[in-house]
Structure 1
């Protein structure tokens, strides 16, 4: 059997999923898009449930592309592991990663082919343009603002095409990142440090704001452990090279220390000192809550959620950061073979508003800064409901 003919724009598509209903829309828009067809579509079913309990995936939504689709089950590896399984199965020179909660544009395949054709041999990856539609008639909620950060995010794998050759050169995604958070920034930094370039393309993909409960910002704090791993792998300047916000982890630590001190001093009977420490905790918590409330709709439900979660986020963020530091204390720094990462600048390489496959302002923040994971630790493509 002869090898398939390869062109400069020949590509495959990899879509990891945990079986969310939004996958149907993703596949339908991919199938109806105008332009060159992908050589193959690998759908990585990363649901942890045993096979008899799985519901079927809506592959029929691919329409004429259905015969090009393959499903592989991975049993809960996480987003990095699922993507690694997917790209290692493809045979095309380019692999386009999509999250299962995106909807590609009507001419996405055509625009992708053009993006790839314009990439010179030094370009390892071409990022798509993400649009996050928000509700009209009111200011966005904290969660909506965080998700909207994807529109400015750097290297988000919600729509990211990489050369298979480049993925092989750096051994793909680092599976020590268990969430859809920072694993994309880590991969891009390794490629840049290995001498490749990454640029922005022109293709358009829509990323709707997925529903989330009022406690989602608490779950995203687990991403602070991933920031600890980024620090070990890429040094203290990684956030600048990835154009990611530093977040509020230092202020969270100060507020948490004030709260703990107030409790300890109160138990020890030192009321005046406890009152001073308690006032510091209260002021810090109030400032954090207002930073999240002020740009939002200020409805009763939103204000209540912001007040409650703003008191809980600082200790959670600190806990996860310390846990990550301990867990990854033996991680060796990445030793790339090529040039260092390019900083913000022309042509979209190395610059941007944030890193991440999510949108939750950064994991240590919780303020709707519209940057990072962006998605905090979970984000729109987060581990608990990720694409």
Structure 2
């Protein structure tokens, strides 16, 4: 496509997910169309004890023992993904203009894995056993700070919080920094581990998690009429963004263009989506307008698709209103990879880039029959080959916070 004045180039990406420790392995897992959910020993004894979790990741070997011990699981995943994204973009931190390199990350919940342990020590009357690192781990900006420290990125660095839209919101903010001339390069996205006993308990109490613990692989079923909630997950995805001219000058490969972004708030309920998807629709329409695109231009939607009864119903209504009776083919990545909370939005943005590159739409797992009157073109079974030039990635979070990204071929 012809480049526009507000385009930002994606020159590198990385993913670490239950599907694999790289972007390619994650893509391959997505293309199987099979859920990765299984019983999680870390959640034993809880009402919902299943998750999609990463087995083949050793923080000590990836980061070294001193650094790995100082950080938590979320930071481990994010830091390694950031290193991978830099390598994929063929950037060299030893020679880049460090003052012009930003790090903007999204967060859903920070360091939840450690809160319970540290508070337990305190309530046991053992304050001397509490880790002094509990405080910096709990500060929401610290994962972005750790990436900046590790890579020597001395430009703007901070975290944005918009719940499960966090990774997408970070990408949108990163684009604004580039367009404003504040940076030449921004590393952006999110990492998070939802495998926290307190978090899992709270989501269960809210009724947000699937109760199909006897058959984990069938538990997450976005847009299926028998859906009953999502499956917790973990992972990280980082994109390297630059202005197209900057990327061309250094001979970088432009993998996709981030052409438009928009965010909105439902102002409806703390944890429930607006039943008609009012805020989500406004975000989709505004993102398309920002990109200079119409609904007819869109060839694919990577949906939020959490597998909750209310959330999927609202999202389906929105897509049918925006795109009409024949919306573009959609996929729901959480059906395979689970819901990594704030990181899911970044993972789905990265998957959307790969969809554009490879001209394939990965399938959705466990979608057998949709709600009456809300038939979306959900890709199932096998990947679908399609000539796609424009795709959107939609992410919605608690608090009614919505962010939509419009990505195109270079």
TM-score, normalising length: structure 2: 0.28
TM-score, normalising length: structure 1: 0.29
Larger radius of gyration between Structure 1 and Structure 2: 1
